[in-house]
Structure 1
Amino acid sequence: MKKVTLNGSFPMIRAAVMGPVVRALDASGAQCDGLLEEFGMSRKLLSNPYEILPLTRYVAAFERAAEVVGESALGLRLGSEVQLTELGPAGLVFLSSPTLNAAMRKFVLALASWQNTTTCELLRDDEWPIWTYQIASPQIWPRRQDAEYSLSTMCHMVRLVRGAAWNPVEVHFEHAAPVDLKPYARIFRVPVRFQQPFNGLILRPQDLDASLKSADSQMARMMERHATDLIARDAMPHSITEQVRDLVTRRLAREKLIVADIAKDLGLSHRSLQRHLAQEGTSVRQIVREERQRSVEGLLEREELTNAAIARAVGYADATVLWRATRSWKKNNP
């Protein structure tokens, strides 16, 4: 299988994917800001579509949103309405490719710039081609909304380039069948099977080789290059210490840093994370202290910032806590 992943990185996804979820919450009149806060997010954070979020939080927030909105098939609906720009370069690569075969294969490669730790590929070994999608980590569960959103999105994209009348041959999902199957019939218009080994769309061989009217070779090359640049820019280092350091740096000012949360976002247990860091001669507490000190030293060079502003920027309650911390650093490192 072709595994879309950034080597050594924690499960991540771009903030742009939360756009449809936020719109659905707002349209329903739900307390969107409260739900975002529950999962360590905010509208300000999500305003940057390239911001990196832990995949675990996105998946859990999507599941919770479906409950809050009272729409069990929320992912199905949002996938059928998605804006391709929210899929980053992968969406535009798909739209501008010459054939559906090329579109799906290039989409798989470009998707690595938008999310990782995902098994996603186009299989043509059997009589019927299959496009598959699955989060690689079994610990991220339940994940029904993400799976249904992803397959509904792919079906929607194919209809954009092949016509609204296009249908797959069959649809497979890894999760159990829900009580209400009408939304699946409405979205896919073909048989849907549940509790399968993977999530996938079964296609016709002739679907893949037909030319697409939306083909744009220049746009495709640009988006492939953009995806490659994003992957290279945000590739994470291999060591657990550096992955923790990256997480701490990203969320230093935004949320309370709790070891259990960091472990979960890395796909590890609390105990495993502590053991790995101990083997590398450090701890979460030490890494947080080092990153705070580094950030404070940089911010102190900016004359326009008050001590209170610097304190907030590194997650301290106020300037007094910052002052105590700087005294401790100077004492330990004269």
Structure 2
Amino acid sequence: MKKVTLNGSFPMIRAAVMGPVVRALDASGANCDALLEAFGMSRKLLSNPYEILPLTRYVAAFERAAEVLGEPLLGLRLGSELQVTELGPAGLVFLSSPTLNAAVRKFSLALASWQNTTTCELLRDGEWPVWTYQIANPQIWPRRQDAEYSLSTMCHMIRAVRGAAWNPVEVHFEHAAPADIKPYARIFRVPVRFQQPFNGVILRPSDLDAPLKSADTQMARMMERHATDLIARDAVPHSIADQVRDLVTRRLAHEKLIVADIAKDLGLSHRSLQRHLAEAGTSVRQIVREERQRSVEGLLERDGLTNAAIARAVGYADATVLWRATRNWKKQ
């Protein structure tokens, strides 16, 4: 079974995954907008479920949300309440597959269309099959909420197609055990082990071969194709300079671009990022300028756009700042 990892790409995830977190914050009356802003996000940005977010920010925002809500088991709860369709093509592939074996395998592959830099696979080497999930970048830590959300979601999905009475054999987590582990027993209804080599759901061999009533062969094929197209469309170039350019293009209108933040989103130190770009004969500042200039030139060709609208679209405060920038570009 091929592991779902996209080496060479900056860690990313689709904006749809923030939906449950936003709903939890709103339901509690917490200041959701302030939390989103602290991590370079907004409701407008998240309104497009296919928008790409840095995985580092999502994981950190999830951890912060649990702190704000005073709910250390937030990920565990949200995974058990999730609408499977919120997982995009991966969720629909799972629901429409003919057997649980096919559902888990196809889901693991399709998940790469929703997030990358993740190892996700179904192992059947030993007596007990195990579905494993782990963010491949060790620098993204802590990540307890994401891990507990992911395993809770998998058990929730299996119960959706096998019945509410279904239970795994065991559940494993890579992080240390919290002070109170009773809620884990209530959610998973089996032994839960902590400080394991990976996050995993242990299954029975007989679980995997049973047919699923929700099977839909045509839907499964369509969603697999959709996932493949998304992976190909949003594949991030392997060159560090091209990865920076891609990230800058995506974030230009949404946030202030800071070198340290870009480096963190790419999983690099500030110094390493600067060194890679210098070797390529460029810099973050130069890439931002080039991408702004390219975007402005394209926007100027559209009818009906004011200079103020163009300025906002490329991250400038107003039309005056845009005018100064375009004047400087002409001098260079």
- CA–CA separation in structure 2 for the residues paired with 1:96 and 1:312: 43
| Distance in 1 of aligned mates of 2:311 and 2:23 | 33
Q: TM-score, normalised by structure 2?
A: 0.98
Does structure 1 conserve the Cα–Cα contact (< 8 Å) formed by 2:131 and 2:202? yes
Equivalent residue number for residue 121 of structure 2: 121
* Conservation of the 8 A alpha-carbon contact between 1:170 and 1:203: yes
Runs of 4+ in 1 over 4 A off after TM superposition: none
SS in 2 for 1:7: coil
Mapped contact 2:7–2:117 kept (Cα < 8 A) = no
Contact 1:173–1:193 (CA under 8 A) maintained in structure 2: yes
For the 8 Å contact 1:129–1:204, the answer to whether it is kept is: yes
Q: Secondary structure at the match of 2:207?
A: helix
Shift of 1:182: 1.9
Encode CA deviations 1:185-218: one digit per residue, 9 max, x unaligned.
1110000000000000111111111111111111
1:125, distance to aligned residue in structure 2 (A): 0.5
CA distance in 2, matches of 1:30, 1:169: 37
The answer for the alignment partner of 2:2 in structure 1 is: 2
Q: What's 2:144 paired with?
A: 144
Whole-angstrom CA distance in 2 between matches of 1:318 and 1:48: 25
Distance 2:5 2:277 in 1: 23
Q: Secondary structure at the match of 2:120?
A: strand
State the Cα distance separating 1:309 from its structure 2 match: 1.6
> 1:280-303 deviations in whole A, cap 9, x for unaligned?
110000000000111111111223
- Report the CA distance between 1:5 and its aligned residue: 2.8
Cα deviation per residue 1:63-112 (whole Å; 9 max; x = unaligned)? 00000111100000000000111101011101111111111100011001
Relative to structure 1, the CA distance from residue 98 to residue 303 in structure 2 (aligned partners, 3 Å threshold; closer, same or farther) is closer
Residues in 1 aligned to 2:193 and 2:295: alpha-carbon distance in whole angstroms: 52
Q: CA deviation at 1:7?
A: 4.4
CA contact (8 A) 1:92 1:223 kept: yes
- CA distance in 1: counterparts of 2:142 and 2:108, whole angstroms: 23
Aligned positions, number: 331
CA contact (8 A) 1:253 1:312 kept: yes
Residues 14 and 50 of structure 1 are in contact (CA less than 8 Å); yes or no, is this contact kept in structure 2?
Answer: yes
Q: Distance in 1 between matches of 2:134 and 2:7?
A: 17
| CA positional deviation for 1:2 | 3.4
Shift of residue 238, structure 1, vs aligned partner: 1.2
Q: 2-side partners of 1:283 and 1:88: how far apart?
A: 36
CA contact (8 A) 2:33 2:42 kept: yes
Deviation at 1:8, TM superposition (A): 2.5
Q: Deviations over 1:103-153 (max 9, x none)?
A: 110001100100000001000000011110000000000000000000000
Give the TM-score taking structure 1 as reference length: 0.98
State the SS of the aligned residue for 2:113: coil
Q: Tell me, in whole angstroms, the C-alpha distance in 2 between the residues paired with 1:140 and 1:108.
A: 20
State the partner residue of 1:14: 14
Question: For structure 2, which runs of at least 5 residues remain unmatched after alignment?
Answer: none
The CA distance in 2 between the partners of 1:8 and 1:195, in whole Å, is 28
Deviations 1:300-321 (A, max 9, x none): 1223122222111111122221
- Tell me by how many angstroms 1:235 deviates: 0.8
Give the C-alpha shift of residue 184 in structure 1. 0.4
Where 1:299 maps in the other structure, the secondary structure is helix
Helix, strand or coil at the partner of 1:3 = coil
Q: Is the 8 A contact 1:97 1:103 kept in 2?
A: yes
Distance 1:221 1:320 in 2: 51
**Counterpart secondary structure, 1:4:** coil
Worse-superposed segment, 65-74 or 292-301: 292-301
Please give the alpha-carbon distance, in whole angstroms, between the structure 1 residues aligned to 2:130 and 2:38. 37
- 1:261 match: secondary structure: helix
After TM superposition, give the deviation of residue 6 of structure 1 in Å. 3.1
- Name the residue aligned to 2:189: 189
What's the RMSD between the two structures over aligned residues? 0.9
Cα deviation per residue 1:14-72 (whole Å; 9 max; x = unaligned)?
Answer: 00000000000001110001100110111111111100000000000000000011110
Distance 2:23 2:57 in 1: 18
- Rounded to whole Å, the distance in 2 between the matches of 1:146 and 1:305 is 41
